[in-house]
Structure 1
Amino acid sequence: MPVSTVPLRPVPGPRGVPLLGNLPAFGRDPLGFLVRLRDDFGDAVTWSLGPKRSLFLFHPEHIAEFLAARERTFELLEIGWAFKQLIGDSLILSKGSDWRRKRSLVQPTVRPRQVRAYASAMVECARTAADDWHDGDRIDVRQQMTLITQRIVLRTLFGNDLGDRTRALGEAMAEAEHGIGAELRNMSLFLPGWVRTPGRRRFLRAVATIDAEIHRLIRARQRSGDTADRDDLLSRLLAARDEEGRPLTAKEVRDEAATLWAAGHETTSTALTWTWYLLSRAPEARERLTAELAQVLAGRPPTIDDYDRLRWTRQIIKEALRLYPPAWLIPAVARDGAAVAGTRIPAGTVVWCSQWTTHRDPRWFPEPTSFRPERWDPDAPDPVPDHAWYPFGGGQRTCLGARFAQVEAALLLATLAQRCHLDVAPADPNPSVGLLLQPAAPLHATVRCR
């Protein structure tokens, strides 16, 4: 486990209000609040989110040690009622032996060999979408990226297209994710689960739609009896057995499928939406992308074997994930004996780190708000410290789908940019804070075919 060489000296942060602490300031502008914590107070800042004592970490060495210790001396913080309702007791929220068992069952479904098998579906779905685009068309970028990644997750997760159910499931998932984001920003975060606000009732209807569809697919797959012969993620979850020969229950399969659906398409579609926005303001980076695609692909569609050779394409994705990381906040609760850099942290303290603030820290990234994919060149003069970039988390709980997401984003960008570029309207979008960092308003673009 990494041990920080940088001393940890927590300092008090801004004064809050009775009972709510810093929640009102955090809720008004979460990203701005965290940046002010970093800039005004330092690398380790105490603050309060409602009644909870909290410590925010901003230095990469502290973050690396904290993330590495999450299974040992820090435990998960379940943020709010809504998140739990959506993903249930999936791997993300499991702990201890239950987490280890589920990880052993879920991890094989997203190993590099499996991701390789899904690559052709990724490219095919992108090409199908691009076939409907024509020079001069005006499109909603996020909507189009979401349609592509939904098709991919349906192919790879469920092994088929859901037809007319696709839209209903997508809308239900979007409503559920909206409900989670709304809860993070206001007082409903502290309401008991039995309180049914209008927003919670809408959320529960959305989750009921998700449950019904996923359970329908599970029952259909179980009736067919061909899970061992199929290569989709759902079949692999149903066929998985732990060391004692036990399968996942139907509820456990549902929870993992819902998590894979939410993480498997929304994260990539969000990353690609920001990528097109950034490229439309960086003509030199876009020209270099065009040149790389012409040289590496020579007019043919990309394959998984091209992934490592598409270096500039991957650097673009990596820089977009730096500037606009879809996942932006990681919390955990200190247990007895928890420490960072040798400094004890009282049990019960909620410890936080944020990809947004670390990724935009000028100490680690010169000109932090500038889109500079060249900073990820292997020979770049300013090497990035470990854990100054961590869009997929770190330690044992690093996102299992990180490889899937990075391959998917690069292959989709290569496939689409090979045919056209998207000129995003000039307005600068603000990120909207929810479960993920989304543009606050739709990003419209003009299709420029080549």
Structure 2
Amino acid sequence: MRDSEVPGPRPHQIPALLRLAVSDPLRSMRQTVARYGDVVRLPIAPGRSIHLFCRPEHAEHVLVAQQQRYGKAFTYRPLREWIGLGLITSDGELWERQRRLIQPLFSHRRVLGLQPLMAEAVSRTLDSWDRLPDGSVLEATEAMSGLTIDIVGATLFGADLSGDKDRVYHAVESLQHAVTRVVKNPLTWVAPRLAYRTTPGYREWDHAKSVIDAVVARVIAARRARDRGDEGRDLLDALLDARYEDGSAIGDRQLRDEIVTFFMAGHETSANSLAWTLYLLSTAPAVRERLEEEVDTVLAGRVPGPEDLDKLVWTKAVLSESLRLYPPVWTVERDAEAEDEVGGVRVRPGSTVIVPPYLVHRHPAVWPNAEAFDPERFLPERAAGRHRYAYIPFGGGRRMCVGNAFALIEVVLALAMITQRYRLNLLPGFDPAAKFTVTMRPLHAMAMSLHRRG
């Protein structure tokens, strides 16, 4: 298909569309797809375009089948100012080297061994709730962030981060806001560091980054100062002991970048998933009652063990449907490094390809009544035959999130244990609009009343 035949706005329409994308990126995407279809081309310069692809087969092509033709998009550059060159932001040889080193540390068997530590962290949060009067009000997003920070600290770093919860939550919020604003700065295309320094508010963001760095530095220093013996229980031990093919250890800077990356990915995305799930359950009493019945039957009042996770079928379905509707990583961008053809459309080197999980997860050809919260979609009998890449909350291909097994065990365990002891009810007036930054957080405070179950 020739460029002139590809659906999309004409050059004179691009400035208005980009202005809308800056102010409301999801609305911009949805309007564009509604008008032009699943394949859209936005010409932004001679020989360079932005392509929007929204079908599962497009996701499979870009993220899996032809992934070698694509690298991290320019939109990830501002994120490097925050988390450095960890697995999320690195590319090329560095990414290959780090992936080979780190992927074995997140095997399902190894992560399952961390389950007891996760359960202890969740119990600490629930015990703190026990000291509150029944009907107390929690801000769910912040509460889930505190919970997952505790889980990450205990399981990945063997550290007590309970005293850091509030400042880490606000620092991460500030830094996500920073990244989003910098991406909207036109200089990001040509000079990302200059874009960062010319975007209003960057000094405040530098302070937020220093908060995260101080926590990470303290954790690393404490681990190096103690006699670790043969423990090797968590990720930090494994990273300190890991060796590349040439026998060398990971350097201090790279260690910092990877720890910050896991800190971000291990708590922020899971916290958002749990918060959105609590919101959805509060709007669907029948779904929540079925969840409570399963948890009560399978666990019979005890703390879940690794052997229980596969039995929590409805719990997993609820979380999968929540991740479908509110994928924490709501958009994936790649820059074409070689010529390609996607959905019959030519993609030239240097062009940017956008595959948004948010829209793939709502494609009407795959997901009937796509806006509805219906966990039954993820029961085995309903999921059979669905396109494998119709559901991509963790991406796909070699760049699929390395911590997906950790995240899934973490959120299933947390939701089951919360459901055992508490029911959270959304207070009237909540607007479920989303804030589209690096991850997809609720835009407004999610106030929920906390009630002990009998």
TM-score normalised to the size of structure 1?
0.92
Once the two structures are TM-superposed, the CA of residue 10 in structure 1 deviates from its matched residue by 6.8
Q: Output aligned runs, 1:139-154, within 5 Å.
A: 139-154=138-153
How far apart in 2 are the matches of 1:267 and 1:50?
Answer: 34
State whether residues 146 and 162 of structure 2, in contact with CA within 8 Å, keep that contact through their aligned partners in structure 1: no
Kindly report which structure 2 residues correspond to 1:278-297, keeping only aligned pairs within 5 A, or say none: 278-297=280-299
Counterpart secondary structure, 1:379: helix
Residues 9 and 44, structure 1, Cα contact 8 Å, conserved in 2: no
Q: In structure 2, do the counterparts of structure 1 residues 398 and 10 end up closer, same or farther at CA, with 3 Å as the change threshold?
A: farther
Which shows bigger deviation, 36-45 or 335-344?
335-344
Which runs of structure 2 are paired with 1:199-210 in the superposition (5 Å)?
199-210=201-212
| Bigger helix fraction | 2
Give yes or no for contact 1:227–1:238 (8 Å, CA) kept in 2: no
After superposition, residues 357-376 of structure 1 pair within 5 angstroms as 357-376=359-378
When residues 333 and 166 of structure 1 are mapped into structure 2, their CA distance, relative to the original with a 3 A threshold, is same
1:86-129 C-alpha deviation (Å, 9 max, x unpaired): 12111222223322210011112211122112211222222221
Matched, 1:176 2:175: yes
Query: Residues 72-221 of structure 1: matches in 2 within 5 Å?
Result: 72-79=68-75, 81-133=77-129, 134-162=133-161, 164-185=163-184, 187=186, 189-190=188-189, 192-194=192-194, 195-221=197-223
- 8 Å CA contact 2:298, 2:312 repeated in 1: yes
CA distance 1:430–1:257, change in 2 (3 Å): same
Is residue 11–residue 41 contact of structure 1 (8 Å, CA) maintained in 2? no
Match for 2:235: what amino acid? L
Residue deviations 1:191-237 (CA, integer Å, cap 9, x gap)? 64233444211111222232233233323323335275331211211
Q: How does 1:232-311 map to 2 (within 5 A)?
A: 232-311=234-313
Secondary structure at 2:334 match in 1 = strand
Aligned residue identity for 1:280: S
SS in 1 for 2:264: helix
Answering whether residue 438 of structure 2 is matched by residue 435 of structure 1, we say yes
Aligned CA RMSD, in angstroms, stands at 2.6
1:338 is displaced (CA, Å) by 2.5
Give the letter aligned to residue 326 of structure 2.
Y
Distance 1:333 1:389, change over 3 A: same
1:3 matched to which residue of 2? none
| Comparing 179-188 and 275-284, the one that deviates more | 179-188
Q: How many Å separate the matches in 2 of 1:95 and 1:110?
A: 20
Aligned length: 445
CA distance in 1, matches of 2:178, 2:266: 19
**Identity in percent:** 35
Q: 1:383–1:85: structure 2 CA closer, same or farther, 3 Å change rule?
A: same
Q: In the TM superposition, what is the alpha-carbon distance from 1:77 to its structure 2 partner?
A: 1.1
**Which stretch shows the higher mean deviation, 333-342 or 312-321?**
333-342
- For 1:15 and 1:137, the matched residues in 2 are separated by 54
Q: Write the letter of the residue equivalent to 2:311.
A: R
Post-superposition offset of 1:377? 1.3
TM-score scaled by structure 2? 0.91
- Tell me the CA shift for residue 151 of structure 1: 0.4
Once the 2 structures are TM-superposed, how far is the Cα of residue 320 of structure 1 from its aligned partner? 0.2
Q: Distance in 2 between matches of 1:216 and 1:127?
A: 25
Q: What is the alpha-carbon distance in structure 1 between the residues aligned to residue 27 and residue 286 of structure 2?
A: 30
Distance 1:211 1:282 in 2: 40
The answer to whether the 8 A contact 1:19-1:50 is kept is: no
CA distance in 2, matches of 1:163, 1:356: 32
* Deviations 1:7-50 (CA, angstroms, capped at 9, x unpaired): x9972423466885732111222112111222211121001579
Gaps of 5+ in 1: 1-7
Whole-Å separation in 1 of the counterparts to 2:11 and 2:424: 44
**How far apart are residue 164 of structure 1 and its match?**
3.8
Secondary structure, aligned partner of 2:42: strand
Give the Cα separation in 1 of the matches to 2:45 and 2:421.
Answer: 50
- Quick one: distance in 2 between partners of 1:347 and 1:125? 47
Mark the CA change 1:163 to 1:321 in structure 2 (over 3 Å): closer, same or farther.
closer
> SS of the counterpart of 1:193?
helix
Question: Secondary structure of the equivalent of 2:249?
Answer: coil
Does the CA-based 8 Å contact 2:145-2:165 persist in structure 1? no
Q: Cα offset for 1:409?
A: 0.7
Report the Cα distance in structure 1 between the residues aligned to 2:73 and 2:230, rounded to whole angstroms: 36
Distance of aligned partners of 1:167 and 1:140 in 2 relative to their CA distance in 1, 3 Å threshold: closer
**8 Å contact 2:182–2:199 — kept in the other structure?**
no
Q: Give yes or no for contact 2:329–2:357 (8 Å, CA) kept in 1.
A: yes
Q: Structure 1, residues 33-69: CA drift from partner, whole Å, max 9, x if none? A: 1112222111210015799621111111121011015
The 1-side partners of 2:5 and 2:329 are apart by 25
Output the CA distance in 2 between the equivalents of 1:364 and 1:390.
Answer: 13
Aligned pair 1:66/2:62, yes or no?
Answer: yes
Q: Which runs of 5+ in 2 are unaligned?
A: none
Partner of 1:314: 316
Q: Could you tell me how far apart the structure 2 residues matched to 1:211 and 1:179 are? A: 16
CA distance in 1 between counterparts of 2:154 and 2:74 reads 30
Which residue in the other structure is 2:451 paired with? 448
1:362 maps to a residue whose letter is: P
* Cα distance in 1 for residues equivalent to 2:229 and 2:399: 28
Task: Tell me the equivalent position of 2:22.
Answer: 27
Q: Which deviates more from structure 2 when the two are superposed, residues 435-444 or residues 208-217?
A: 208-217
Letter aligned with residue 154 of structure 2: R
